Amino acid sequence: MANGGREALTPQAARSLVDSVDVFIFDCDGVIWKGDKLIEGVSEALHTLRSLGKKFVFVTNNSRKSRKQYAKKFSKLGMEINEDEIFTSSFAAAMYLKLNNFPTDKKVYVVGEEGIQEELKLVGYESIGGPEDGKKYIQLESNFFFDHDKSVGAVVVGLDQHFNYYKLQYATLCIRQNPGCLFIATNRDSTGNLTSLQEWPGAGCMVSAVSCSVEKEPVVVGKPSTFLMDFLLERFRIDVSRMCMVGDRLDTDILFGHNAGCKTLLVLSGVTTLPALLDPSNSIHPDSYANDMSHFVQLLSQ
Amino acid sequence: MLTSRVISPSFLPLSPPASTSSSSFSSLKTILSPFLAKTQLSYTRSSRMASSLTARAAAKKLENADELIDSVETFIFDCDGVIWKGDKLIEGVPETLDMLRSKGKRLVFVTNNSTKSRKQYGKKFETLGLSVNEEEIFASSFAAAAYLQSIDFPKDKKVYVIGEDGILKELELAGFQYLGGPTDGDKKIELKPGFLMEHDHNVGAVVVGFDRYFNYYKIQYGTLCIRENPGCLFIATNRDAVTHLTDAQEWAGGGSMVGAIRGSTQKEPLVVGKPSTFMMDYLSNKFGISKSQICMVGDRLDTDILFGQNGGCKTLLVLSGVTSLETLQSPDNSIQPDFYTSKIADFLSLKAATV
Q: Alpha carbon A187 to chain centroid distance?
A: 6
Strand partners, A152: A107
Binding-site residue set of B for substrate: 274
* DSSP for B4-61, written as a single string: -----PPP--SS--S-SSPPPP-PPPEEPPTTS---EE----SS---SSSSPPPPPEE
How confident is the model at residue B2, as a pLDDT?
A: 33
| A186–chain B nearest CA distance, Å | 13
The answer to whether B306 and B14 have CB atoms below 8 angstroms apart is no
Residues contacting B89, CB < 8 A, separation 6+: B83, B128, B129, B130
Whole-angstrom Cα distance, residue A86 to residue A96?
A: 16
**Shortest CB distance from A196 goes to which of B16, B193, B215?**
B193
Classified as helix, coil or strand, B138 is strand
Q: What gap in Å lies between CA A23 and CA A285, rounded to an integer?
A: 21
Comparing CA positions, the residue from A110, A166, A134 lying closest to residue B252 is A166
Per-residue pLDDT, averaged over B171-193, amounts to 93
Q: Would the CA dihedral through B185, B187, B188, B190 be positive or negative?
A: negative
Sheet with B177-180, strands from edge to edge, namely B177-180, B158-162, B203-208, B233-236, B270-271
How much is the ipTM here?
0.92
Of B20, B213, B264, the CB nearest to A251: B20
Nearest-angstrom CA–CA distance, B296 and B304: 7
A27 given a catalytic annotation: yes
At B125, the amino acid letter reads F
> What pLDDT does residue B353 have?
52
The answer to whether the CB atoms of B212 and A194 lie below 8 A apart is no
Amino acid at A259: N
Interface contact flag, A172 B252, Cβ < 8 Å: yes
What is the reported pLDDT for A21? 97
Tens digit of each residue's pLDDT, chain A (302 residues)? 444 456 799 999 999 999 999 999 999 999 999 999 999 999 999 999 999 999 999 999 999 999 999 999 999 999 999 999 999 999 999 999 999 999 999 999 999 999 999 999 999 999 999 999 999 988 776 678 999 999 999 999 999 999 999 999 999 999 999 999 999 999 999 999 889 899 999 999 999 999 999 999 999 999 999 999 988 898 889 899 999 999 999 999 999 999 999 999 999 999 999 999 999 999 999 999 999 999 999 999 99
A69, amino acid identity: Q
The reply to whether residue A212 touches residue B258, judged by beta carbons under 8 angstroms, is: yes
- CB–CB contact A213 B242 (8 Å): yes
Write the burial class of residue A283 (CB in 10 Å: 0-12 exposed, 13-18 middle, 19+ buried): exposed
- Type and span of the H or E element at A126: strand A126-129
Angle at alpha carbon of residue A25, lines to A34 and A30, rounded to 5°: 15
CA angle in degrees (0–180, nearest 5) for B245-B118-B259: 50
Q: Is B78 a catalytic residue?
A: yes
Contacts 24+ apart (CB under 8 A), B166-169: B166/B113, B166/B114, B166/B115, B166/B116, B166/B117, B166/B120, B166/B139, B166/B141, B166/B209, B167/B114, B167/B141, B167/B207, B167/B209, B167/B237, B169/B117, B169/B119, B169/B120, B169/B141
Question: Is A138 close to B212, i.e. CB distance below 8 A?
Answer: yes
Maximum CA extent, chain B: 83
Is residue B127 exposed (0-12), middle (13-18) or buried (19+ Cβ within 10 Å)? exposed
Task: Give alpha helix (H) positions in chain B.
Answer: 65-71, 93-102, 118-127, 140-150, 165-173, 216-228, 254-265, 278-287, 306-311, 325-329, 346-349
Compute the average pLDDT of residues B195-220: 97
pLDDT of residue B71: 96
CA angle, A260 then A262 then A265, to 5°: 120
- Answer whether B28 touches A (CB < 8 Å): no
Question: What is the CA angle A273-A277-A65, rounded to 5?
Answer: 60
Exposure string for B226-239, b = 16+ CB within 10 A, e = fewer: bbebeebbbbbbbb
User: Phi/psi of residue A243, each to 5°?
Assistant: -115, 150
Answer yes or no: are the C-beta atoms of A172 and A181 closer than 8 Å.
no
Q: Measured between CA atoms, how close is A8 to chain B, in angstroms?
A: 22
Amino acid code (one letter) for A149: D
Q: Phi first, then psi: give them for residue A93, nearest 5 degrees.
A: -65, -45
Half-sphere exposure of A64 (CA within 13 A, CB side): 16
Contact (CB, 8 A) for A66 and A87? no
Confidence of residue B12 (pLDDT cuts 50, 70, 90): very low
Tell me which DSSP letter residue B301 carries: I
Other CB atoms within a 10 A radius of the CB of residue A10 amount to 13
Is residue B162 within 8 A of residue B257, CB to CB? The reply is: yes
Q: What is the largest CA-CA distance in chain A?
A: 73
pLDDT-based confidence at residue B28 (cuts at 50, 70, 90): very low
Nearest CA in chain B to A185: B19
Mean per-residue pLDDT over chain B, rounded: 85
Helix (H, G, I), strand (E, B) or coil at B180: strand
Predicted local confidence at residue A6, as pLDDT: 61
Contact A186, A89 (CB under 8 A): yes
pLDDT tens, position by position, B114-129: 999 999 999 999 999 9
pLDDT tens, residue by residue, B135-160: 999 999 999 999 999 999 999 999 99
Q: Which one of B245, B259, B264 has the shortest CB-CB distance to A212?
A: B259
Please tell me which residue of chain B has the smallest CA distance to A191: B264
- Helix A89-99 and helix A227-236, axial crossing angle in degrees, nearest 10: 90
Of B146-155, B156-165, B242-251, the range with the lowest mean pLDDT is: B242-251
- Name the pLDDT band for B11 (thresholds 50, 70, 90): very low
d(CA B335, CA B301): 6
As a whole number of angstroms, the distance between CA B107 and CA A191 comes to 46
Contact state of A163 with B256 under an 8 Å Cβ cutoff = no
Lowest mean pLDDT among A189-198, A265-274, B4-13, B57-66: B4-13
Q: Quote the Cα angle for B217-A209-B77, to 5°.
A: 110
**B12/A contact by beta carbon, under 8 A:** no
For residue A212, give the nearest of B15, B87, B212 by CB distance: B15
What number of helices (H) and strands (E) belong to chain B?
A: 11, 18
CB atoms < 10 A from the CB of B318, how many?
A: 27
Q: Confidence class of residue B22 from pLDDT cuts 50, 70 and 90?
A: very low
CA distances from B174 to B122, B152, B334 (A): 18, 11, 38
Tens-place pLDDT, residues B254-305: 999 999 999 999 999 999 999 999 999 999 999 999 999 999 999 999 999 9
Q: What angle do CA B17, B18, B21 make, to 5 degrees?
A: 95
**Phi-psi domain of B218 (left: phi exceeds 0; alpha: psi -120 through 50; beta: other):** alpha
